[in-house]
Structure 1
Amino acid sequence: MDSYWKKRDSGITIRIIICLGILSLLYIVFITVLAYLGLGFFPIMIISAIFILSQWFFSDRLVMWSTGAKLVTKEQFGKLHSIVEKVAFANNLPKPKIAIVNSQIPNAFATGKSHRNSVVAVTSGLLDILDDDELEGVLAHEITHIKNRDVLVITLASLFSTLAWQIMQFSFFGGLYGAGRDRNNGGAIIIVVVVAFITWIASFLIIRAISRYREYSADRGAAQTTQKPASLANALLKITGRMDMVPQKVIKRVEGYNAFFIIPAISRGSLTSLFSTHPPVESRIQKLMDMEKSMHGI
């Protein structure tokens, strides 16, 4: 364990490359389906360009908008900005933008397309329960996600998953509504539904393939940055304990964004728990405490 927290994490890089390759394959499938449905070369190129550019420019904005995250200035949250600035400097990164989510759910996430275009968001509920060292650990965890560039993969895969799900619903119910009037479109609708389903499954698997590993990697990165793994472990314990006190209807509203959160918000009886995007918090805390012992010779 003594060398575990010191060495560079190459595993996250390999997983990111594989996941980006799968996402690229999904683009090719998308274009192939458009061609099969009879669209010409130029319409396909225009649609593909619009789709790719929209995904690139608006994917992180969509996450911000849907979670209700609002950018805040240093004048509004001076201590928060100072900690982020300190952690970003320690990782040789530009300072990310900072956002607050007005929610009693204690959580944090990062989003963005690059080191220079990234946002770290925390909820008001998180600020209420953590001390400065614990908050620094959580922010270092999120900034490690930015440093590793795994935020981009999760953002793109999540957008793919959301779009595919919406296409499936629209095509299925639209097909049922119009089936009696135009049976010539039945074959095309089936193809769209099948491809959308495959895309949704692929996106789902991509998110699960990288999510659990990236949380361990971000925990380790936070420990390397702050030299206080026990503080992050304490933060995880506090977040988990407070999560049980949040009303179930509040948790249900944010379950779709669990892949981004430092601790997933899972309602009781939810199928989400069967396909968790995160490793068990007990395992994460144990690894952090092992790092604490290794670092400080306990």
Structure 2
Amino acid sequence: MRTRFAPDRGLTGRMLATTFLLGLLYVAFAGALFVLLKSAVLAVVIAGAALFAQYWFSDRIALFAMHGRTVTPEEAPQLHGRIDRLCALADMPKPAVAIADVDLPNAFATGRSPAKSVVCVTSGILRRLDGEELDGVLAHELSHVAHRDVAVMTIASFLGVLAGLIVRFGLFAGYSGALGAGRRRDDNGDNVAVLVMAVVAVSAVVYAVSFLLIRALSRYRELAADRAGALLTGQPSALASALTKITGEMSAIPTRDLREAQAFNAFFFAPALAPGVALTALLATHPPLEQRLTQLSDLSRELGQES
């Protein structure tokens, strides 16, 4: 889909490199499974079904989980007006608009394609941000829609889902075999046990590596969306202000609510982290706040604005 969102060749190159590594990992994993099992049809079918459901129903699943509902222009005229203007600037079709009635200040975009996408904001973010800050957040989310980030991340996660399922199947099979070990002590039983453990070990390594690669891809797409959204509005400082304000306001949200929302961090504009939760850079879904603010400050200077 053609839009006026500015490309970022450096970040795009890093995302392509990460995706290429995921592809190589998938090929190696498929080869190892073929050598070990000669067939992995059941796991592939189940993982494929999970991937299809996540891809096809991602907008409904995310809205249901966050208690969001789509709103009409009559119900939220100002929010629709802002998205209308930003979509016109970006030369892209308008997504559905939703509001989640929760105090957590955040926003997210989901959907398998620009034509089937939703941009959702929480009532908490609407109360806390001014107009320019909200425009920056909405432009960030529209960049995710324009670049089909939800579809990219869903497809990229297929290998991790598959490996995770095989690990679970293998551990269950190993547990079942342990229960029957007293009844069967032949060489064939030992060979099956060794094969199961080999598959579990390979799958666990693949799951761990793919998890780290997907998290890296997620961080790259957040930086790309920050840059594209800031260039679209021409106000990097407003987006930086929104980031700072939302991160600071997280401390006022009950810890229980933050922990419940952490499962959706990959969707969010800013991660919901409860006090005391520390994630290493390799495990985070989003870049550090300082890195995002530094990028926006550099962009302000590029545009001849004060940092």
TM-score (norm: length of structure 1): 0.80
Give per-residue Cα distances to partners, 1:2-59, cap 9 Å, x unaligned.
xxxx973112333343344444456553586378535498x78866764654454244
- Matching residue's letter, 2:277: S
The offset of 1:143, in angstroms, is 1.0
- Matching residue's letter, 2:273: I
The reply to whether residue 276 of structure 1 matches residue 275 of structure 2 is no
TM-score (norm: length of structure 2): 0.78
- Matching residue's letter, 2:84: E
**2:99 matched to which residue of 1?**
100
Give per-residue Cα distances to partners, 1:259-288, cap 9 Å, x unaligned.
322211122333535532322223322432
267-276 vs 159-168, which moves further: 159-168
Distance change (3 Å), C-alpha of 1:93 and 1:7 = closer
CA distance in 1, matches of 2:116, 2:219: 24
The offset of 1:132, in angstroms, is 1.7
Aligned pairs (5 A) from 1:112-261: 112-158=111-157, 161=160, 164-165=163-164, 168-169=167-168, 171-172=170-171, 175-176=174-175, 179-181=178-180, 184=189, 186-187=193-194, 189-261=196-268
Distance change (3 Å), C-alpha of 1:228 and 1:65 = same
177-186 vs 114-123, which moves further: 177-186
Secondary structure of 1:113's match?
Answer: coil
Distance change (3 Å), C-alpha of 1:36 and 1:287 = closer
Distance change (3 Å), C-alpha of 1:263 and 1:150 = same
- Unpaired runs of 5+ in structure 1? 1-5
Contact 1:16 1:150 in 2 (8 A): no
Secondary structure of 2:14's match?
Answer: helix
**2:37 matched to which residue of 1?**
37
Distance change (3 Å), C-alpha of 1:50 and 1:159 = closer
CA distance in 1, matches of 2:160, 2:169: 14
Distance change (3 Å), C-alpha of 1:97 and 1:126 = same
The offset of 1:239, in angstroms, is 0.2
The offset of 1:243, in angstroms, is 0.5
The offset of 1:98, in angstroms, is 2.0
Distance change (3 Å), C-alpha of 1:73 and 1:206 = farther
CA distance in 1, matches of 2:288, 2:125: 20
Contact 2:110 2:150 in 1 (8 A): yes
CA RMSD, aligned part only? 3.4
CA distance in 2, matches of 1:276, 1:13: 19
Give per-residue Cα distances to partners, 1:104-146, cap 9 Å, x unaligned.
2211122223222222222221112112211111000111122
CA distance in 2, matches of 1:126, 1:62: 21
Between structure 1 and structure 2, the one with the greater Rg is 2
- Unpaired runs of 5+ in structure 2? none
